[in-house]
Homo-oligomer: A and B are copies of this chain.
Amino acid sequence: MTDQDPAYSPKHYRTPDGAPADIVIFTITSTEKPTTKKSLPLRRLEILLIQRKKWPFEGHWALPGGFSSPEESIYACALRELQEETGVESVHLEYFNEYSEPGRDPRGWMISHAFYALVKEDALAARRAADDAADVRLFSVEEALDMKLAFDHRQIIQDALIHIRRSMLTTTIAKEFLPAEFTLSELYQVIQTVVPDFEEKNFIRKVTSTQSRKGIVEAVQEVDGSPKMSNRYSQRSAQLYRFTDEEPTLSIYG
């Protein structure tokens, strides 16, 4: 009932056997459509998994992660693991849940801390070439959820998906999957890749000319003030946009 039992002493209680951090590393891969014309790529949401080499779950695919130590916070641990895995600095890394069901880890009492990270495809490409081993791979979300994964990692991935989908619609994390300057079609594609149900009919108009959304994106201009365009994906070139610093607050009541 009180914070600590009066008889508390570290020796009297069993203590956890470890506090690992597991990371759901999301990336969006692009593949060109087999067409002669310029076109928007096919995008797919993928997750990085690692094949385990020993007990428990030897041979199974699992989320990357590792044990934290008393000299670092759990977040610092996750960041370290992520950098070791991807070689990327300054990625979006966000904590979303703990996993502590009794028996979830045959090695003992392990309380896992789950993060999700958003990484651009090219950031992973270099790393994966380095250790080209077949034991690190990207899987599409559907593939990953169909596999028999180690521990409760399937559940963790499902929960991570719920979080990334909500964040994609309520925050500006889409920018983590996009270059600094992007076209609105790219943005629309990224959102749809993460949230398949997403559909907005007059997307361009809503994003560009709705005052109540307070300009989450703004048109990029050339140094001479003319609009900066891109024709990477189309014959007709498209206006480039960038995210502003606005983080809109949403409300169901107004």
Contact = CB atoms under 8 A, between A and B. Distances in A.
Interface string A69-88: 11111110000010011000
Interface stretch (A16-24, A34-42, A139-147, A234-242): A16-24
A59 interface: no
Interface stretch (A3-11, A25-33, A118-126, A219-227): A3-11
Interface in A43-96: 50, 52-54, 62-75, 81, 84-85, 95
**Which secondary structure characterizes the binding site on chain A?**
loop
A70 to B, nearest CB: 4
A193 interface: no
Given A98-B74, A206-B253, A16 B16 contact: yes
A78 B200 CA distance: 41
Interface in A154-181: 169-172
A254 B27 CA distance: 24
Contacts of A10: 17-18, 107-108
Contact of A191 (B71, B73, B253): B253
Given A169-B253, A252-B171, A3 B111 contact: no
Interface residues of A, number: 70
A18 B111 CA distance: 11
A97 interface: yes
A253 B200 contact: yes
B200 A254 contact: yes
A248 B252 CA distance: 7
A251 interface: yes
Nearest to A169: B251
A254 B108 CA distance: 47
Contacts of A67: 4-5, 8, 13
Given A5-B67, A169-B249, A170-B252, 10 more contacts: A1-B84, A3-B20, A3-B22, A3-B65, A4-B67, A15-B15, A170-B250, A170-B251, A171-B252, A198-B253
